[in-house]
Amino acid sequence: MVLGDNMTGKKLTIVSINGPYRDEGVFTMMRLAHAAKEKGITVNFFNYLDATVIAHRDQAPKEFPPIETIFGTIVKKGIKEPKADAIACIKCTDARGVTKQQTEGVIIGGLYDLGEWTAESDKTILLG
């Protein structure tokens, strides 16, 4: 799927596994998601492993923009279907103690949800 002019109805699932301030991966994910949304593509985020910290509320990094705010803006802008646009893995959030601190619009789910999204998506990308 190339980001052409008429992409309405297409779905992209982005699976992220790295934490928010490790490298440019999360910022690349945000730019990709924003570009896809601008083309009318529905974007599903599945935050797995350390990526479950991406949507953790009340982050206060000193040297970086707060990724939770950027992520939350994209998620809130993009809820177009009955199903949420962002799922954080329950086992991963529990292990990191961030289950109850996910930003608005992110639901807690599991690998079954990822399987459903992968089957429904035109493309699935793993960043990490």
Examine residue 4 and state whether it is found in any structural domain, yes or no. no
Examine residue 6 and state whether it is found in any structural domain, yes or no. no
Examine residue 2 and state whether it is found in any structural domain, yes or no. no
At position 40, the amino acid (one-letter code) is G
pTM, to two decimals: 0.83
Q: How many structural domains does the chain have?
A: 1
Examine residue 62 and state whether it is found in any structural domain, yes or no. no
Structural domain boundaries, residue 105: 11-56+67-123
| Buried b / exposed e along 85-113 (16+ C-beta atoms within 10 A) | bbbbbbebbeebebbebbbebbebbeeeb
pLDDT digits (tens), the chain, 128 positions: 555 555 668 899 999 999 888 888 888 888 898 888 888 888 999 999 999 988 887 777 777 777 777 787 777 765 554 344 889 999 999 999 888 887 777 889 999 999 999 999 999 999 88
Examine residue 117 and state whether it is found in any structural domain, yes or no. yes
Provide the sign of the torsion angle of the four alpha carbons 97, 101, 102, 108, taken in this order: positive
Looking up residue 89, the CATH number of its domain turns out to be 3.40.1260.10
